[in-house]
Amino acid sequence: MQLQIQRVNVYELADGLLDALIKFLESLSLAVILGGLGAVFLMASFVLGWYGNQLTLPSGGYMFPILENSLGHPERALFSFMSLFVGAAGKYHPQPHHGLVLLSFGSVALMLGILGSLTVFRPLDFLRVPIGIAALLLGITFIAKLACFHSNLLELLIDINDQHAKLLLFSTIHLPPNNLGYEPTYIPGFKTDYLLDRFEAAFYFASWGWYLTMAGGLLLLSTGLYGGREEEEKGRFVKIGSVLLLLVLYSLGLVMPDLLAEYRQLKGDSYLAQGKYEAALEEYSAALSLNDQLFYHKLFRENLGEVYYKLGRVDKPEYYIYRGELLNMEGKSLSTLDAYERALQMSPEDPVIKRLLVSFYIQQGLDYFNTGSNKYSAIQSWKNALELDPNQVQAHFYMGKAYFDTGNYEQGILENQTFIAQSINSILKANAYSNIGDGYVKLERFNEARAAYLMSRSLDRILNNRMTDSLAGGI
């Protein structure tokens, strides 16, 4: 008898829960549904990552390296509360002495999303507005930091992007046709000369995590302002105006130092064009004091170098940067190399000078390779580039092809394996595995060749004709 009563109680409890759920769903308004969707977007941004575009990196958010390295691969996407809440008024540069990092942009978005999900309950729907504002401020902070406060990271992203664009072109020209399916599209040649250029690049590298955070913030904010409790129309417009003013003032606060620096930079450009070199130097120095991130931008350093060149300031590395660019335009490669090396001697860790030298060596190697004049010299040029920047994945790919063409199949296989370990693009990795397979075929190691071709297929299954022909004995 007691057991039967318990069963009845369970059924009654289930019926009660079902009735409550039905009533809850019936009570849902469009504002509640859209607000809940915004919360889901915020939580999803943690999983999808915050930057990438074609550069899909294994992270749960935006990666700020704590130690200096390429793209911050070993670390998670991180910044401290100081960066988010205090660093808005100035530049925040993560350093080892800051200790363990606390949160990623994605982690903050996840927490906001969890809080936002609670706003489906009427007593908590007032939280939609502050959560929406916080999400939008988070997204604005991300873009501003990438565009304004971490210029070296932005330059690295652009460099990796350009490398993969060049590699796709190289593969099209120098390798057997790989496939007839979808190839990723890279937009090479992003500039960082001025603030709008840097924001354009930052938006390009912003990935789904950032877009979903902004969309989620807008949904929560708009449903908080327009949905929910009845309000007077006048009060609602005051709220909207206050929110817009807050977002605008916060954004201006982030970029104001850069705007002031750009004003002085443009004045310097004007004086330089007029031949007023002392005045130009004064403006450039003022711009650099307002925005030390200009140090990482090539055009600024070149213009400063032109001023030093005209003033005969041979004690400045920028003098040799500008001189090297002049000589390079004249086709004097040896003199160009000498000028860049002089600049590097004066400033050994200068990222702009290193990028100029790396670009010179990469192009020199391609010139040797494309003319067929001396592929051994091409290999040496690419080795020189790797000594300056071990993250030049394109050099390994090029050397793999050059070693194959010169009959050094073992070394060609090693270079392609190194490329695979460092690359982030599955199509190019598929090409590299096919290159490895071709090398093993030449060495008559057919089982290993087959394994390499199968790896190529696993990475690129859409009409991978090169792999199919190779497995069928078409090479």
SS3 193: coil
Asked whether 120 and 24 are in contact (CB, 8 A), the reply is no
Whole-number pLDDT of residue 68: 27
User: CA 272, CA 225: separation in Å to the nearest integer?
Assistant: 51
Asked whether 94 and 79 are in contact (CB, 8 A), the reply is yes
The encoded tokens of residue 362 equal 């990469």
Whole-number pLDDT of residue 3: 45
User: CA 424, CA 40: separation in Å to the nearest integer?
Assistant: 28
**What is the block-wise mean pLDDT of the chain (475 residues), using blocks of 10 residues?**
49 64 59 83 83 42 31 30 31 35 75 89 84 94 90 87 88 72 68 92 86 91 72 68 92 94 96 96 96 93 96 95 93 92 94 95 94 88 95 94 94 95 84 92 91 85 62 55
Asked whether 436 and 418 are in contact (CB, 8 A), the reply is no
Asked whether 243 and 221 are in contact (CB, 8 A), the reply is yes
The encoded tokens of residue 114 equal 């969890």
Whole-number pLDDT of residue 234: 60
Count other C-beta atoms under 10 Å from residue 90's C-beta: 10
Whole-number pLDDT of residue 426: 80
Q: What's the full length of the chain, in residues?
A: 475
The encoded tokens of residue 370 equal 């494309």
Strand partners for 51: 206
The pTM of the full predicted model, rounded to 2 decimals, is 0.77
SS3 63: coil
User: CA 97, CA 265: separation in Å to the nearest integer?
Assistant: 33
Q: Where are the domains of the chain?
A: 31-230
Residue among 365, 298, 300 at smallest CA distance from 337: 365
CB hemisphere CA count around 244 (13 angstroms): 8
Q: Radius of gyration over alpha carbons of the chain, in Å?
A: 28
Burial class (CB within 10 angstroms; exposed 0-12, middle 13-18, buried 19+) of 250: middle
